Amino acid sequence: MKISSFYPSIVTSNATETIALFEELGFERAHTKTGIEGDATNCVLKYGEDFRVDVAQYDEQERDMTNIRVNVSDFDEAYDFLVSKGFKNAMGDKIVETPSSKAALMVSPSGFTIGLTKHIR
């Protein structure tokens, strides 16, 4: 399994405030993706070449959640690997697919989460 990037991701119902905080810290918007599963939006911010953070806007999110975003070259291989280690898909068996990505929020047996993503190029 090849990991292409690995960084924190914040899921919030107030992305505007969270993005503004990171911009004040010196982060810049790398790209924004809209229309994910309805009206969800994801913004990737970067600081130089080495640091990134995702901020995902989900209006239904009651409380902010932080997870680890892991971008991989082979989604199915990574998904099966995590399942073999006891991870469960937070949305049952649902995989979020858009024209440019495939993703699932995976929850470990102890409760930490990995946002597993494959970019389709």
At residue 39, does pLDDT exceed 90?
A: no
At residue 25, does pLDDT exceed 90?
A: yes
Residue 41, pLDDT score: 77
pTM of the model: 0.82
HSE of 69 in the Cβ direction (CA atoms, 13 Å)?
24
Tokens 């953070």, located at residue: 53
Given a contact cutoff of 8 angstroms between Cβ atoms, the answer to whether 108 and 87 are in contact is yes
Amino acid letter, residue 62: E
Which phi-psi region, left, alpha or beta, contains residue 4 (left: φ > 0; alpha: ψ -120 to 50)? Answer: alpha
Residue 92, pLDDT score: 93
d(CA 71, CA 92): 20
Given a contact cutoff of 8 angstroms between Cβ atoms, the answer to whether 35 and 57 are in contact is no
Select from 29, 6, 33 the least CA-distant residue to 18: 29
- The SS3 assignment for 16 reads helix
d(CA 56, CA 36): 10
pLDDT tens per residue across span 78-115: 999 999 999 999 989 889 888 888 999 999 999 999 99
Q: Which two tokens stand for residue 44?
A: 């990737």
Residue 68, pLDDT score: 96
Residue bearing the bigger pLDDT, 70 or 98: 70
At residue 26, does pLDDT exceed 80?
A: yes
Residue 34, pLDDT score: 65
Q: Which two tokens stand for residue 104?
A: 């699932």
Residue 40, pLDDT score: 66
